Amino acid sequence: MLQATGIVQRFDEGTGDEHEVLHGVDLSLFKDEIIGMIGPTGSGKSVLLKTLAGVLPPSEGEVSSSLQEGEEISFMFQEGALFDSLSVLDNVAFPLVRGRVPCAALPYAERTEVCDQVAAVLERVGLAAHSHKFPAQLSGGMRRRVSLARALVNEPDIALLDDPTSGLDPVASSVIMNLIEELHQSFDTAMILVSHDLRRLFPICSRVVALFQGEIVFRGAVADLANPSAESPTVESLFVPCKDLLRQFVACRYDFSDSGLSSVSQAYKEEISS
pLDDT in tens, 215-264: 998 888 888 777 655 455 455 545 555 667 777 888 888 877 653 454 43
Give the separation between CA 124 and CA 121, rounded to whole angstroms: 5
Nearest-CA neighbor of 193 among 125, 111, 203?
Answer: 203
Q: Which residues contact 154 (CB under 8 A, 6 or more apart)?
A: 72, 74, 95, 96, 117
Report the domain count for the chain.
1
Cα-based distances in Å from 105 to 39, 110, 111, 112, 122:
44, 10, 8, 11, 21
Residue 126 lies in a domain: no
Residue 105 lies in a domain: no
Amino acid letter for position 209: V
Contact 203, 268 (CB under 8 A): yes
Residue 180 lies in a domain: yes
Residue 99 lies in a domain: no
Residue 35 lies in a domain: yes
pLDDT of residue 67: 86
Q: Which domain does 19 fall in, by range? A: 2-84+134-273
69-111, pLDDT tens digit by residue?
A: 878 899 998 877 899 999 999 999 999 998 898 999 999 999 9
What is the reported pTM? Answer: 0.84
Give the separation between CA 214 and CA 99, rounded to whole angstroms: 33
Residue 145 belongs to domain with CATH number: 3.40.50.300
Residue 218 lies in a domain: yes
175-215, pLDDT tens digit by residue?
A: 889 989 988 988 889 999 999 999 999 999 999 999 999 99
Average of per-residue pLDDT across 22-30: 95
Average of per-residue pLDDT across 118-126: 92
Give the separation between CA 121 and CA 96, rounded to whole angstroms: 12
The secondary element (H helix, E strand) that includes residue 130 is none
Residue 210 lies in a domain: yes
Is residue 140 pLDDT above 90, yes or no?
no
Residue 123 lies in a domain: no
Beta bridge mates, 65: 2
Contact 93, 114 (CB under 8 A): yes
Q: Is the dihedral of CA 107, 109, 110, 113 positive or negative?
A: positive
